[in-house]
């Protein structure tokens, strides 16, 4: 059984940096969270090009691919397509109060900023906003244009956390995985999820 505080919506969009989303998914599942995973069409292309992870349109086959890649149980994972309008995340009456888009494209930022809701990811984000839940966007783009910054500023003023995928180096990373874990740890910290990937500053 899962209660509201142990469930979260995670979305992958088409920005580069699928490694962040995959790592985050693994640690959310290891933390015994119920994860509702949304994957955009562009994200599927990125997952294949960056990780040779080709996903099927059939949920069970996709879960099998994730299980092999992540090396953890997916019992607590539910995957929805972009047009699954009857999924739990599409309505404020049942959606989790926490959502993270990782990685988040600047196109998704713009759509969310203007309430477009043309696919399930955008609708799920809109639900979180209207229900005054916690939304975190791990934006992956460089450089940012003035338009990108304006859209992020608009969302930030609404209480949405903007967390660019820009890892720090004060923990003296020894590998790419260390850099990825830096961002994942910061995400988990913001949601109050216990993690051992990164020690607190000063420890």
Domain boundaries, the chain: 4-190
pLDDT digit string, tens, across residues 8-65: 999 999 999 999 999 999 999 999 999 999 999 999 999 999 999 999 888 888 998 9
Query: Measured in Å, how far apart are the chain's first and last C-alpha atoms?
Result: 35
Beta bridge partners of 99: 9, 135
* Residue 44 in marked binding region: no
* Partner residues linked to 137 by β-bridges: 101, 162
Say whether 87 counts as a known binding-site residue: no
Strands across the sheet containing 161-162: 77-80, 34-39, 7-12, 98-104, 134-139, 161-162
Strand, helix or coil for residue 30 = helix
Would you state the structure tokens that stand for residue 162, as one six-digit string?
């903007």
Instruction: Convert the pLDDT of each residue in 162-185 to its tens digit.
Output: 999 999 998 899 999 999 999 999
Which tokens belong to 33?
A: 């969270």
CATH for 4-190, among 3.20.20.140, 1.10.760.10, 3.20.20.410, 3.40.50.1950?
A: 3.40.50.1950
pLDDT, position 154: 98
Residue 117 known to bind ligand: no
Tokens of 121: 């990811």
- Rounded to whole angstroms, what are the CA distances from 145 to 87, 115, 122, 166, 188? 34, 20, 21, 17, 28
Which pLDDT belongs to residue 187? 97
Structure tokens at 106: 């600047």
The span from the CA of 123 to the CA of 151, in Å, is 17
> Is residue 129 helix, strand or coil?
helix
By three-state DSSP, how is residue 28 classified?
A: helix
15 is in an annotated binding site: yes
Span 77-122, pLDDT tens digits: 999 988 899 999 999 999 999 999 999 999 999 999 999 999 999 9
Model's pTM, two decimal places? 0.94
* Residue 196 annotated as binding site: no
Q: Has 156 been labeled as part of a binding site?
A: no
16 is in an annotated binding site: yes
Q: Is 14 one of the annotated binding-site residues?
A: yes
Residue 107 among known ligand-binding residues:
yes
């Amino acid at each position: 059984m899962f209660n509201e505080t142990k469930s979260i919506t995670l979305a992958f969009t088409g920005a580069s940096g699928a490694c962040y989303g995959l790592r985050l998914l693994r640690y959310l599942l290891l933390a015994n969270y119920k994860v509702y995973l949304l994957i955009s069409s562009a994200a599927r292309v990125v997952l294949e090009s960056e990780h040779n992870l080709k996903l099927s349109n059939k949920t069970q086959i996709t879960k099998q691919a994730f299980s092999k890649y992540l090396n953890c149980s997916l019992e607590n994972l539910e995957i929805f397509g972009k047009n699954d309008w009857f999924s739990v995340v599409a309505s404020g009456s049942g959606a989790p109060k926490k959502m993270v888009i990782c990685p988040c494209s600047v196109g998704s930022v713009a759509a969310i900023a203007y309430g477009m809701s043309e696919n399930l990811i955008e609708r799920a984000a809109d639900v979180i906003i209207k229900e005054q839940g916690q939304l975190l966007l791990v934006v992956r783009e460089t450089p940012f244009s003035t338009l990108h910054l304006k859209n992020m500023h608009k969302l930030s003023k609404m209480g949405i956390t903007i967390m660019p995928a820009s890892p720090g180096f004060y923990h003296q990373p020894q590998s790419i995985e260390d850099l990825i874990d830096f961002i994942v740890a910061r995400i988990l910290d913001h949601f109050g999820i216990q993690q051992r990937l990164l020690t607190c500053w000063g420890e």
